[in-house]
Amino acid sequence: MTEYTAGQTLRLLVVSAREGARDELGQALSAWRREHRLYWVSQPDLAPARAQELVPHAIVVDDDMAGGQVVALIRDLVARAPGAAILALVEAGEVDRARQAVLAGARGFLTKPLQPDEFLATLQQALAARAAGLREPEPVGKPAGWGVVFCAPKGGTGRTTLAINTAVSLHQATRRRVVLVDADYSAPALDVALNVHSQRDITDLLPRLARLDEELIRGVLAHHASGIDVLLAPPPADLSSPISLPQVQHLTVLLKRIFPWVIVDLGLPLDEMAFAFLDVADRIVMTVLPEMVGLRNTRLMLDQLHDRGYGQDKIWLVLNRASIKAGVSVADIEERLKMKVTYRVPDDQPLATYSINRGVPLVMSHRGSAVARAVRGLAKMLAEAHPAPEPEHDVAAAKRRGLFGKRREARA
């Protein structure tokens, strides 16, 4: 159910090609006086999938597109997100367009320039009206891609090593495209750890978010010899301003539309940008070491995630260097964290260091090692938990193979 009740964190999705619309709504929401999260998508064809993934309480659709397209989009959003209260944002005087939007399923409309008081009043009315007539929605499908975020409560847990090798193992096991995103903007490491050299990084995409397509994104990605693609982070000194939450959300949704697997190596701190990555994750993999300081920090991080609404079933706790001598036992770890350890990776710090220094993933250079076997097991767990649908071109090929097979049988 997507019914909004007092005390919940309001999820509002904005569909507009104008960043200004997002900013105006964000400023108006500052007077909401309740917890809320604002999400933004600039391309109408991405909005239905984003709504399915996010399950927002409300959606604001800007009429900055052709009128017919707005009406068709609202109808699609009503079908895909039946629990959301949809509002149309139209130019003042466009009575006919507002009427068409309401007939298509919008719960109301707002006029430009946006008036904060009018917006909040209309939003509250739409949420109340939606709650009064809300029915249990039918289950909806997931977008094609799966997002997995690797995070850790402190540095030195092996988070980056596990993210890299899991990404490579997923590609090897599933034969699906994988993109690995460096989201450690204070200490990026994927370029060194993978020995990839590129002058392009995520900042090359941000100015073009409203008109991104697969070709533009692929032009910025670095391709690795393992077969995975990598979206690098800029050097910290080159990041003139923080990457915003809506920018992260929009880009991640695009990546999940293109790639069956989006693996994110998320750094610290857990700020709004970090939570933007976590919001679109289907699975959060938290790496922890069997040591007391790390466990204390892990408990604090888990509390943060739970406070933000991430369920415990979404989080996998991966114990790295599990076989280290004199480490805290698994039973004690689970008791202190009040959470089961999902997976264990044995200790081989010399191999991990050697792999990073060479810039070659250990699942490629030392396939028979205990660590490589364990990482492949983790990748297998992910693939089984989140089966990626067969790509369209593979489906077509399978159909052709079936058709040709029937023809061969007929000839025989």
Residue pair 180/150 in contact by the 8 Å Cβ criterion: no
Which DSSP string corresponds to 261-301?
EEEEEE-S---HHHHHHHHT-SEEEEEE-SSHHHHHHHHHH
- Phi, psi dihedral angles at 135 (to 5 degrees): -115, 160
Query: What is the domain-level CATH number for residue 325?
Result: 3.40.50.300
For the stretch 121-131, pLDDT in tens is: 888 888 887 66
pLDDT (average), residues 183-197: 94
Q: 157, 320 in Cβ contact below 8 A? A: yes
Residue 397 lies in a domain: no
- Three-state DSSP at 286 gives strand
pTM of the complete model: 0.69
Kindly state whether residues 297 and 333 are assigned to the same domain.
yes
Supply the CATH number for residue 79's domain. Answer: 3.40.50.2300
Does the residue 390 lie in any domain?
A: no
Based on the domain organization, do 100 and 22 belong to the same domain? yes
236 within a domain of the structure (yes/no): yes
Alpha-carbon distance of 243 to 274, in angstroms, equals 10
Helices (H) and strands (E) in the chain — how many of each? 16, 13
Average pLDDT of the chain, as a whole number: 85
* Highest-scoring range by mean pLDDT, 91-95, 163-167, 203-207, 234-238: 163-167
Residue 406 has pLDDT above 50, yes or no: no
Question: Is 393 among the domain residues?
Answer: no
State the pLDDT confidence band at 396, using cuts at 50, 70 and 90: very low
Which amino acid makes up residue 40? W
Q: Is residue 405 part of a domain?
A: no
For residues 253 and 376, membership in a common domain is answered with: yes
Does residue 412 lie in a domain region?
Answer: no
Could you tell me if residue 170 is inside a domain?
yes
Poorest-pLDDT segment among 133-147, 210-224, 257-271, 388-402 = 388-402
Q: Is the pLDDT at 139 greater than 50, yes or no?
A: no
Q: Tally the C-alpha atoms within 13 A of residue 172's C-alpha that lie toward its C-beta.
A: 21
Task: Return the pLDDT at 7.
Answer: 61
Distance of CA 309 to the CA centre of its chain: 15
pLDDT number for residue 360: 96
Residue 178 β-bridge partners: 261
Do 146 and 55 meet the contact criterion of CB atoms below 8 Å apart? Answer: no
14 vs 63: CA distance, rounded Å: 11
- Same-domain check for residues 154 and 128: no
The pLDDT value given to residue 51: 87
* pLDDT band per the 50, 70, 90 thresholds, residue 59: very high
Residue 113 φ then ψ, to 5° = -70, 145
Beta bridge partners of 264: 149, 181
Burial of residue 65, with CB atoms counted within 10 A of its CB: 0-12 exposed, 13-18 middle, 19 or more buried: middle
Of the pLDDT bands very low, low, confident and very high (cuts 50, 70, 90), residue 1 is: very low
Together in a domain, 199 and 233: yes
First to last CA, the chain: 55
Same domain, 121 and 189: no
Range of the domain at 16: 10-132
Looking at the fold, whether 102 and 187 belong to one and the same domain comes out as no
Percent of the chain with pLDDT over 70: 85
**Are residues 168 and 112 part of one domain?**
no
CA distance 203 to 238: 9
51 shares a domain with 190:
no
Edge-to-edge strands of the sheet including 261-266?
222-223, 229-231, 178-183, 261-266, 146-151, 283-288, 315-319, 343-344
Q: Is 338 helix (H, G, I), strand (E, B) or coil?
A: coil
* In a shared domain, residues 228 and 260: yes
pLDDT in tens, 232-279: 999 887 776 667 776 787 788 889 889 999 999 999 998 888 988 998
Whether 403 maps to a domain, the answer reads: no
Q: 87, 110, 132 — which closes off a domain? A: 132
Please indicate, yes or no, whether residues 155 and 125 belong to a single structural domain of this protein.
no
Per the structure, the count of domains in the chain is 2
CB atoms under 10 Å from CB of 90, counted, come to: 25
Same domain as 100, residue 154: no
Cα angle 57, 60, 61 (rounded to 5 degrees) comes to 135
